[in-house]
Homo-oligomer: A and B are copies of this chain.
Amino acid sequence: MSDVLFDILRKVTTATITTMLLKKGIRRCWMNGPKPLSASGERIVGRAFTLRFVPVREDVATIESWGSAISTRAAIEEMPAGSIAVADATGVPTAGIFGDILCARMKKRSVAALVTDGAVRDRAGVLMSALPVWCAGVASPASVNGLTFVGWQQPIGCGGCAIFPGDVIVADDDGAVIIPQALVEFVAKEGAEHELYESWVFSEVENGVKLPGLYPPNEDARARYEIWRKSRP
The chain B residue sitting closest to A17, CB to CB, is B140
* Interface flag for A83 (CB, 8 Å): no
- Partner pick for A15 among B99, B144, B160, CB 8 A cutoff: B99
Query: Binary interface profile of A, 154-197, with partner B (CB < 8 Å = 1, else 0)?
Result: 11110011110000000001110100101100000000000000
Size of the chain A interface, CB-CB below 8 angstroms? 91
Q: Which of A41-68 contact B (CB under 8 A)?
A: 41, 54-61, 63-64, 66-67
Number of copies: 6
With A19-B63, A202-B101 as known contacts, state yes or no: A162 contacts B177, CB within 8 Å. Answer: no
B94 touches A30 (CB 8 A): yes
A141 touches B30 (CB 8 A): yes
* Interface flag for A208 (CB, 8 Å): yes
Looking at chain A's contact residues, the main secondary structure is mixed
9 cross-chain pairs, A with B, having the tightest CB-CB distances, nearest first: A54-B157, A14-B140, A73-B211, A57-B162, A18-B141, A150-B155, A140-B174, A54-B162, A15-B122
Interface residues of A (CB under 8 A from B): 13-15, 17-19, 22-30, 32, 35, 39, 41, 54-61, 63-64, 66-67, 71, 73-74, 76-77, 88, 90, 93-94, 96, 99-102, 104-105, 108, 121-125, 138-142, 144-146, 148, 150-151, 154-157, 160-163, 173-175, 177, 180, 182-183, 198, 201-202, 205-206, 208, 210-212, 215-216, 218
